[in-house]
Amino acid sequence: MRAQKRNKIAALVIAITVLLTAGLAVALWTADGTGSGNARALTAQTITVNATTGAADLYPGFTDGDVHFTLTNPNPYDVEFDSMTPGAITSSDPVNCPASNVSAVGDTGLSLPVSANSTSGAQSIQDVVSMSAAAPDGCQGVTFTIALTLTGSQD
C-alpha cells in the first residue's frame, strides 16, 4: 500500500511537473504583430548666398571680373551648385557710380560645394562681371552687389 501511495504521489508530481513545464513553454512562445509605421521626409531649407568682399578687379572695359560669396546650408546633407544666374546689381555709391556701369553673365559647369549644417569658406565665380568702358571716375573703390541664383543638388 505504501508503495502504491508512493507511486501515486510520484505520478502526481510528474504530472504537475509536466503541466508546469508545458505552461512555461507556452508562455515563452513568440508573438506576432501587424500594423503600420510612418517615415517622413524633411522639407529642404533654402541655402543662403552671402556676399563677401574679394580682391578689387574691375576697371573700365574689363570683362573678366569675379563675384565673391559664402554659402550657408541649414540642411542635414551636403549640396553642390553647378550653375549661376545673376540678378539685380546694386552700387554702394549709386550717385557717383550707378549700377548700370556693371553687368554680369550666368555660368554653368561650376563646382560650388557646401557641407551639411555649415557655412562654406570663401567661394567665387570667375570671369562673369564686366565694367562698362564708359564707367566714370566715381566708380573707383565702389562695391557692387549682385543678386545670385545658384542651381544644384544634394551631393
- Tell me how far apart the alpha carbons of residues 123 and 82 are, in angstroms, rounded to a whole number: 13
In whole angstroms, give the CA distance from residue 79 to residue 153. 6
Q: Is residue 31 part of a domain?
A: no
| Percentage of residues of the chain with pLDDT beyond 70 | 89
Give the range of the structural domain holding residue 104, as residue numbers without chain letter: 48-154
Q: What value does the mean pLDDT take over residues 89-108? A: 98
Q: Is residue 25 included in any domain, yes or no?
A: no
Q: Is residue 43 part of a domain?
A: no
Q: How confident is the model over 24-46, as pLDDT tens digits?
A: 555 577 888 899 999 999 999 99
Q: Nearest Cα to 63, choosing from 108, 96, 103?
A: 103
Q: Are 155 and 78 in contact (CB under 8 A)?
A: yes
Measured distance CA(145)–CA(104) in Å, rounded: 11
- pLDDT(97) > 90: yes
Q: What cell does 145 get?
A: 552687389
Mean pLDDT, residues 125-142: 98
> Is residue 37, in this structure, part of any structural domain at all?
no
What is the value of pTM for the model shown?
Answer: 0.76
Structure confidence by residue, pLDDT tens digits, 134-146: 999 999 999 999 9
First to last CA, the chain: 88
Is 104 among the domain residues?
yes
81 assigned to some structural domain: yes
User: Would you state the torsion angle of the CA atoms of residues 20, 21, 25, 28, taken in this order, to the nearest 10 degrees?
Assistant: 70
The CATH number that applies at residue 78 is 2.60.40
Residue 2 predicted with pLDDT over 90: no
pLDDT at residue 77, as a whole number: 97
How many distinct structural domains can be found in the chain? Answer: 1
The predicted pLDDT at position 21 comes to 64
Segments in 1-153 forming alpha helices (H)? 2-27
Looking at residue 112, what is its pLDDT? 96
* Distance separating alpha carbons of residues 124 and 121, to the nearest angstrom: 10
40: three-class secondary structure by DSSP = coil
Q: Is residue 126 part of a domain?
A: yes
Q: How far apart are CA 137 and CA 96, in angstroms?
A: 8
Residue 117 lies in a domain: yes
Lowest mean pLDDT segment, chosen from 26-30, 41-45, 108-112, 151-155 = 26-30
